[in-house]
Structure 1
Amino acid sequence: MKLQSQLNWAFTTLLLVILAVTGYVIYSMILGVLIDNERTELEQKGQLLVQILNERYQSQGGIEDFSNFLEEQDLQLFLYDRSQDQVLLSTMPQQYVRGFSANHYFANDREELWEAGNSKFVTSRILIYPDRTTLELILLTPLTDLQIIQQDFFRRLVIVFIVGTIAAVLLSYMLTNKLVTPLTKLKRELKKIEKRKFDDVERVKATGEIKEVEQSVYDMATELERYMTSQQAFFQNASHELKTPLMTIQGYAEGIRDGVFDKKDQEKGLEMMVTEVSRLKTIINEMILLAKLDSEQATYESERIEAAELVDQVLDRALPLVSENGIQLTHSVDHKSVFLADQEKLLRALVNITFNAIRHARSHVTITAKNQMIIVEDDGEGIPKELMPHIFHRFVKGKTGETGLGLAIARAIVEQSGGSITVGESGLGGAKFTITFPEPNSMI
């Protein structure tokens, strides 16, 4: 069953249960309300009759006078003498008089609902002479009259419930349709993602939590497209990076085997083969490291790292390259700055970024560590704007880059450590890499 049908059935069932309970409660209460109202009306009629009797006949009025007057009123009533326990007048058949007498209703002034056979009556008792408590006027109304009103009211109520239920179900259908339609469209968009038709993915109009889901689906599609594109680029670049040294090695090896080279060229060829093998080894090792860093199984042993100690280790490792390229490497460190990360891996990331800056710098590289940031800047040509969004992808490198994996490794290490890395333009004229970590306390 579709979600929309499930929601409509659930809403309709709940509505019917609520209406059934409400109808039962109202049906049960309405008879009590009608009895109370009828008793009040009987009391008002009785008081009016008693007032007329008192004014017209006062103390000289006899029973016959009362009887003649009361019989003219077309009411169901009794004239009862409490002192004699006798019904003096009745406008109802004698069978009711006998039935009420047998149940002692006349003598019991607390019983307000009388029953005789299968009939029930609502009653009200009024003293004819307030100063003489022996003569009472008892008015009655059949309960069936009230039940007819009750049933008529309930029928009207059922009609209202039916109309309200139909309107509520139609409204429910409209609302659930509005709710489910974006989900149905999202399903179609997910099918496109499943078939890798990323260019055909369209935005879906929605609100609330469904809008958040839609945004997540769209972001997922964008990320999957970027990932697949980067994977294709990775395999293309990897094959190119691996193919070039292999072809060099193959060419020199075949030349040496076939005796094409003289002794001097053979030695040069062997040296070139060793260099290319070393390059291949470096690329493969970095690819393996990057795969481990991207894997969930990669182990990160976080510890508190002092920025001053970390920067000193980077300077020691960068000294040979600095001397070779004639670059000035300066640093500024806030000794209160502390990071929480895997020291060995973070050192590897910072070394990669620093070496990259040294290779692209003209004359100056700076390392700044303050608060929870490490900033590496150079005065080189900078990173082309079209290359900047992809600079941390695998095998993306500049003119003087080596394997194109150093910055990808650095990003993986920083992100696995809970930090972030960004690149921008430096005030020195070249590139500016900024590594940011959260406060150590917030990571514990």
Structure 2
Amino acid sequence: MKLQYQLNAAFTALLLIIMAVTFYVVYSLILNLLIQDEQRQLEQKGEIIVSVLDEAFISRENIRGFNEFLQEQDLQLFLYDRGQNMVHFSTLPTSVVTGLFMNNDFSNPNEELWEYGNEKYVTSRILIVPQSLGLELILLTPLQDLQIVQQDFIVRMLIVFLIGALVAIGLSYFLTRKLVTPLTRLKYQLKKIENRDFDEVEPIQASGEVKEVAQSVYDMANELQRYISTQRTFFQNASHELKTPLMTIQGYAEGIKEKIFEAEEEEKGLEVIVSEVNRLKKIINEMILLAKLESEEISYHQEKIALTDLINKVMERALPIATEKGVTLQQQVEEQLYLIGDEERILRALLNLTFNGVRHGHSQLLITAQESNGQVQIIIEDDGEGISEELMPHIFHRFVKGKNGETGLGLAIARAIIEQSNGKIEASRSNLGGAKFTLSFTRD
């Protein structure tokens, strides 16, 4: 069953249950309320009649006067003598009076409902002053009259309930349709993702949590498309990076084997082979390291790292290559700064970024460590040509390298290490004129 039908069925069932409970409670209470209201009205009428009787007829000898006065009232009533336990007068037929008197205890003031045959009567009793007369006025209303009012009320209530139910079910259908329609459209978008038709995935109009899920699906599709594209580019670049040194090695090896080189050229060929083998070894090792970093196979040893010591180690290891390139290393490190992470891994990331800056810088490389907005920031910037606008969005992808780049894996490894250390890395243009890499870490 479709979700829309399930929601409508659940809402309708809940509505019917609520209506049934409400109907039962109202049906049970309405008759009692009608009886109580009728008793109050009878009591009010009785008190008016008794007040008139008290003023006009004040002795038992005037019972005949009582009877004549009561006969004029358009009410169902008894004039009951408590002392003699007898009815002096009634506006009801004699057979009904006899039946009621025989089937009910007139002397019991707590008996509010009287029965005669299939009929029931609601009663209200009022004493006639002076109480020494022992006379009591009893007014009656057939319960059937109240039940007719009850049934009329229930019919009207059922009509209101039915109209309300139809409106509620219609509103439910409209709301569930509004809720389910985006989900149906989302299903089609997921089908496109399943078929890898990422270019055809479109954002859908929705609201609330459905909108958030739809946006997540749309972002996921874009990320999958980017990932697959990156993987495709990775394999293309990897094959190119590996094929070039292998072809060089193969060419010199076959030349040496066929004795086509002179002794001096043969020696040079062997040096090239060793150099290309070392290059291959470096590329493969970095590929393996990057794969481990991204698959979280490497365990991180969390410890408190003083930034002063960490930056000093970076400067010491980068000094030889910087001196060779004629690049001056500078540092600006705030005191008492630290971060939590794996010192060996973070050092590797900083060295990759520093070596990258030394290779591309003209004369200067600056490393800054500071606290900003509750975060520890490490900034590495050079005065080289900087990163081109076309390369900027892809600078941390594998085998993406600029001019004078080596394997194209150093920045990808640095990003993986920083992100595994709960940090963030960004690339931008430095005020020195070259590239700027900003690393941000939380204090704890």
TM class, shorter-chain normalised? over 0.9
Note the C-alpha offset of 1:334.
Answer: 1.8
Note the C-alpha offset of 1:96.
Answer: 4.3
* Distance of 2:113 and 2:21 partners within structure 1: 27
Q: 1:22 maps to what in 2?
A: 22
Conservation of the 8 A alpha-carbon contact between 2:58 and 2:130: no
Q: Equivalent residues in 2 for 1:372-383 (5 A)?
A: 372-383=376-387
Conservation of the 8 A alpha-carbon contact between 1:120 and 1:143: yes
User: Per the alignment, do residues 234 and 133 of structure 1 end up closer, same or farther by CA in structure 2, a change over 3 Å counting?
Assistant: farther
AA aligned to 1:134 is G
Note the C-alpha offset of 1:196.
Answer: 1.3
Conservation of the 8 A alpha-carbon contact between 2:104 and 2:114: no
Larger deviation, residues 318-327 vs 72-81: 72-81
Note the C-alpha offset of 1:386.
Answer: 1.2
Match of 1:397 among 394, 401, 404: 401
* Distance of 2:304 and 2:260 partners within structure 1: 59
SS in 2 for 1:322: helix
Q: Equivalent residues in 2 for 1:19-418 (5 A)?
A: 19-59=19-59, 62-102=62-102, 105-130=105-130, 132-371=132-371, 372-418=376-422
AA aligned to 1:400 is N
Conservation of the 8 A alpha-carbon contact between 2:121 and 2:142: yes
Note the C-alpha offset of 1:13.
Answer: 0.8
* Distance of 2:281 and 2:233 partners within structure 1: 21
Give percent identity, aligned residues only.
61
Note the C-alpha offset of 1:48.
Answer: 3.0
Conservation of the 8 A alpha-carbon contact between 2:186 and 2:204: yes
Larger deviation, residues 129-138 vs 377-386: 129-138
Larger deviation, residues 260-269 vs 282-291: 260-269
Conservation of the 8 A alpha-carbon contact between 1:373 and 1:434: yes
Listed as ranges, the gaps of 5+ residues in structure 1 are none
Note the C-alpha offset of 1:60.
Answer: 8.4
Larger deviation, residues 49-58 vs 12-21: 49-58
Conservation of the 8 A alpha-carbon contact between 1:77 and 1:92: yes
User: Per the alignment, do residues 350 and 358 of structure 1 end up closer, same or farther by CA in structure 2, a change over 3 Å counting?
Assistant: same
* Distance of 2:346 and 2:130 partners within structure 1: 105
Q: Equivalent residues in 2 for 1:421-440 (5 A)?
A: 421-440=425-444
Note the C-alpha offset of 1:187.
Answer: 1.0
* Distance of 2:141 and 2:285 partners within structure 1: 103
SS in 2 for 1:420: strand
Note the C-alpha offset of 1:62.
Answer: 2.9
Larger deviation, residues 22-31 vs 364-373: 364-373
AA aligned to 1:437 is F
SS in 1 for 2:412: helix
* TM-score, normalised with respect to structure 1: 0.95
Note the C-alpha offset of 1:100.
Answer: 4.0
AA aligned to 2:439 is I
SS in 2 for 1:344: helix
* Distance of 2:112 and 2:60 partners within structure 1: 31
Conservation of the 8 A alpha-carbon contact between 1:127 and 1:133: no
Note the C-alpha offset of 1:315.
Answer: 1.4
SS in 1 for 2:442: coil
**What are the superposed Cα offsets for residues 283-340 of structure 1, whole Å, 9 maximum, x if unpaired?**
0000000000001332111111111111111112112211211111111222311011
* Distance of 1:104 and 1:24 partners within structure 2: 30
**What are the superposed Cα offsets for residues 134-171 of structure 1, whole Å, 9 maximum, x if unpaired?**
11111111111111111111111111111111110000
Note the C-alpha offset of 1:129.
Answer: 3.3
Conservation of the 8 A alpha-carbon contact between 1:306 and 1:335: no
Listed as ranges, the gaps of 5+ residues in structure 2 are none
CA RMSD of aligned residues (A): 1.7
SS in 2 for 1:129: coil
SS in 1 for 2:425: strand
* Distance of 1:60 and 1:340 partners within structure 2: 107
